[in-house]
Amino acid sequence: MLAWKSVSISRMGQEIFSDISLEIGQGKIVSLVGPSGCGKTTLLMIAAGLMDADSGSLECGFRNPGMVFQEPRLLPWKRAGDNMAFGLVARGQKSIDFRCRIEALAATLGLDRRDLDKYPHELSGGMRQRVALGRALVIEPDLLLLDEPFSALDIGLRQELQDLLVRQISERGLTAVFITHDLVEAARISDVIVVMDRHPRGIVYQHAMPGIPGCRPERDIFSAVGDLLAVPVVARAFRAQDIEKL
Amino acid sequence: MGVVKDIAVYFWSVWGALVGLFLFVALWEAGHAVYGDFILPAPADALARFGDFVHDGSAVSAASDTAIRAIGGFAVSGLIGSLVGVMAGLSITAARAVRPVVTVLLGIPPIAWIVLALLWFGPTGMTPMFTVIVTSIPITFAGAVEGTRTLDRDLEDMARIFRATRLRIFVDVHLPHILSYLFPAWITALGMAWKVAVMAELLATSDGIGARMATARVNLDMAATMAWIVATVGLLLMVEYLVLEPLKRRTETWRQRPAGHGNSSQMRRM
């Protein structure tokens, strides 16, 4: 179980959010959606142990978190295969022991052997994000933290990687926290949608999606999004975002 | 097989450089044709004279004296400048404190250092060596500070999430980045080291290439002067293209385009 308990945090004298509580059950995919600046990424950073809350606490029953960022964050001086192995090497494993595992996982992610020998600058954006996904999955995580991993990709590729991700998550029985701007993406791949807003700050709405992530018909996804947007607090959160875009 | 291909590609890239070099020699020859032997001896004469120096052994002994001073001084300044620079880069306060000192050091012309060194060390080999050290430390220092100040915090966060130890974060995440800044600085410093060493020798010592040039000047021996210039440049090119450049290629394959376009980093430097 992963739980933030009345967590507050501020940086440089500015409050990012205060008194947020959220619990994520075992084996669930939870999406955090909301306008930029509402503190989604900060929430994830606290869970990853990269930021400390000013008050409140984090309860984390997971031992082995993996993370994928908005940018691939690959080491430019390491080949794709070595980048994928980064977490394993950091844990002191030998390359003979995991070579095959990396290649097998790479194949399911749509990367062949030749891609693994390339440097990140020789790969396309989608390929790089596959490598980053592989790096997070190969350590056999029990919790996956995803910070808008597909937002920089074009729509077709995005959907392909979403399917790939959901398949991996369900096969491995992972728990995942997924940040996105995109309500449709959230409705497609998550069990629970958590809507955050800036005014009022914090979590404004939670919605459990029926059915199995990744297996929902498009029709249901769009009607769920329609229903969500009919809720006043959700509509407000997303309208604010639209105004910002203009 | 791959190694053979790499070497072949490397030497092929030398052709381009040779074209420029021959063009330069042609210009030199033209200058000789216009101004005559006394002002500008022919390249062939200079080379012949250089051949004589190689024969009687004076070329090797002069070059090795100069090389020890230049490379030794460069090594000391590379070590100190890089280490202190990395430390300064890690702390903003230290960087602020050291930066004006570096600016002052960079501002002092090498010739002023030679005068100081002459007074301190007299006409010994220490004078060129010291001058090389003080003039190239600011360069390596600045490279190290710049590399350390621009470290990628996002990559560091990533490494921490994947439970990399501090040592691994340094070796795998920070060091390659810092090296990519240090290498060009080292190459610049080494090029400078030769010139400064020869200059200091010319004024301060009785051996080394610089001292030979001083002798040639006194004797108004233009061919010998040109021969020693050729020797200096030859040494510099040898060190750069046989040692530093291959080393740089090895450590920076990740930055280069696939084979055939490997000259981009060289061009940038030029």
How many other CB atoms are there within 10 angstroms of residue A194's CB atom? Answer: 22
Q: Is residue A149 part of a domain?
A: yes
Helix (H, G, I), strand (E, B) or coil at B89: helix
Q: Say yes or no: A130 and A178 in one domain.
A: no
- Residues A133 and A149 grouped into a single domain: no
Q: Provide DSSP, B146-164.
A: HHHHT--HHHHHHHHHTT-
On whether residue A69 sits in a domain, the answer given is no
Please state whether beta strands A65-68 and A55-60 pair in parallel, antiparallel, or not at all (unpaired): unpaired
The residue range of the domain holding A84 is: 74-141
Which of A111, A141, A171 lies at the terminal end of a domain, its last residue? A141
Whether the pLDDT of residue B255 is over 90: the answer is no
A20 falls within a domain: yes
Checking if the pLDDT of A131 tops 50, the result is yes
Rounded distance between C-alpha atoms, residue A85 and residue B195, angstroms: 46
A92 and A159 both lie in a single domain: no
Nearest CA in chain A to B161: A48
Q: Are residues A115 and A197 in the same domain?
A: no
Check A119 against B254: CB less than 8 A apart.
yes
- Residue A158 falls inside a structural domain: yes
CA dist A52 → A9, B136, B151, B248 (Å): 8, 43, 22, 41
| A69/B164 touch (CB, cutoff 8 Å), yes or no | no
**Residue B194: both structure tokens together:** 């030769």
CATH label of the domain that carries residue B236 = 1.10.3720.10
CATH value at residue A48? 3.40.50.300
Q: Give yes or no for a contact between A84 and A102, defined as CB atoms under 8 angstroms apart.
A: yes
pLDDT in tens, B38-87: 889 999 999 999 999 999 999 999 999 999 999 999 999 999 999 999 99
A104 lies in the same domain as A156: no
Asked whether residue B270 carries a pLDDT value surpassing 60, the answer given is no
Last residue of a domain, one of A141, A175, A199: A141
Mean pLDDT of chain A, nearest integer: 89
Least-confidence region, from A45-54, A223-232, A236-245, B46-55: A236-245
Among candidates A75, A91, A119 on the partner chain, residue whose Cβ is nearest the Cβ of B155: A75
Residue B263 has pLDDT above 80, yes or no: no
**What's the mean pLDDT in B108-113?**
89
Q: Which residue has the tokens 């990744």?
A: A214
Nearest to A86 among B157, B162, B258 (CB): B162
Tally of domains in chain B:
1
B28 vs B254, higher pLDDT: B28
**Is A31 inside any structural domain?**
yes
Domain boundary among A106, A141, A176: A141
More confident residue, B91 or B32: B32
Same domain, A198 and A177: yes
CB contact under 8 A, B172 and A78: yes
| ipTM of the shown complex | 0.88
* Residues A148, A137 share a domain: no
Which residues span the domain enclosing B180? 2-269
Asked whether the beta carbons of residue B163 and residue A87 sit closer than 8 angstroms, the reply is yes
Question: Do the domain assignments include residue A68?
Answer: no
Q: Are residues A97 and A197 in the same domain?
A: no
The three-class DSSP label of residue A216 is coil
Number of domains in chain A: 2
Question: Residues A135, A149: one domain?
Answer: no
Considering CB atoms only, which of B158, B164, B172 is closest to A69? B158
Place of tokens 């996982």: A105
User: Percentage of residues in chain B with pLDDT exceeding 70?
Assistant: 94
Assess whether pLDDT exceeds 60 at residue B22. yes
- φ, ψ of residue B194 in degrees (nearest 5): -60, -50
- Mean pLDDT calculated for residue range A146-159: 87
B7-13: average pLDDT: 77
pLDDT (0 to 100) of residue B261: 40
Neighboring chain A residues of B173 at a CB cutoff of 8 Å: 75
Average pLDDT over residues A33-52: 89
**Sequence letter at residue A3:** A
Give the pLDDT of residue A242. Answer: 56
Q: What is the mean pLDDT of residues A84-105?
A: 91
